[in-house]
Amino acid sequence: MSIKLIMDDKEISVDEDFTLLEAARENGIDIPTICFHEATTSNALCRICVVEVEGQRVLQPACIVKAADNMKVQTRSEKVIRARKTILEMLASTMDLSESAEIQKMIQEYGADVNRFPDAQRRESEVKDDNPMYIRDYSKCLLCWRCVQVCADDAQYTFAINFDGRGYETQIGTFFERTIPETSCVLCGQCVAVCPTGALKPKREFLLEQGMSPQEISVLNTGRKRRK
């Protein structure tokens, strides 16, 4: 069964089970996303996809709110633009977004001032290099939850990682701070594939960026001695 609603002053018809994000994409309307991924459950954590729904007091996250018959939605109202811009500014002030091309593009599009909050405490973390497949740099992590979800019941059912800590100290971690080889991780790489910021990165890519040659990396992986 289909329903009709107004989105950006245009009447559209969509399936009744669609979210507002799905309705927008089905009709060529762009709504930015960060924590949303088609392979994971939507949890509306980042709020970059908020839209203005007539009759609602606060902005609504398009990734989880269902479209409804006769609903009137604005995806780029002044209130929406201001909210997205502020979210981007807060993210930029507290973490390293240098390797997130999509978010950098959003910052430019919304004219976000990355220096708006100069006194903000930045998330700093040492690079965790404890397994042969990937590195973890949580200075770049925005807690989108994608990696946790694919490791859990959205895909792998391994449950090797989860949220650790509370409040501002929250970050992705392993149970009892175990190294990756000590967890139930099977090194499938799905967490790396869904990471939007480079917080999780293939080990080979990381080592190449550090100046190592492919031959040196190959020797590391096999344990062979390098010929002089």
pLDDT digits (tens, 9 = 90+) for 116-127: 999 999 988 899
Q: How far apart are alpha carbons 178 and 74 in whole angstroms?
A: 46
Tell me if 203 sits within 8 A of 209, measured CB to CB: no
Q: What share of the chain is helix, strand, coil (3-state, %, to 5)?
A: 30, 15, 50
Give the per-residue pLDDT at 228.
Answer: 44
Name the more confident of 213 and 86.
86
Residue 16 Cα to chain centre, angstroms: 27
Query: What single-letter amino acid sits at 199?
Result: A
Average pLDDT over residues 202-228: 73
Q: How far apart are alpha carbons 164 and 173 in whole angstroms?
A: 5
Q: How far apart are alpha carbons 187 and 132 in whole angstroms?
A: 9
**What pLDDT, in 10s, does the model give residues 31-83?**
999 999 999 999 999 999 999 999 999 999 999 999 999 999 999 999 999 99
Tell me if 72 sits within 8 A of 53, measured CB to CB: yes
Give the per-residue pLDDT at 214.
Answer: 84
Of the pLDDT bands very low, low, confident and very high (cuts 50, 70, 90), residue 100 is very high
Of the pLDDT bands very low, low, confident and very high (cuts 50, 70, 90), residue 226 is very low
Task: Write down the pTM of the prediction.
Answer: 0.88
**What pLDDT, in 10s, does the model give residues 161-191?**
998 888 878 889 998 889 999 999 999 999 9
Of the pLDDT bands very low, low, confident and very high (cuts 50, 70, 90), residue 1 is confident
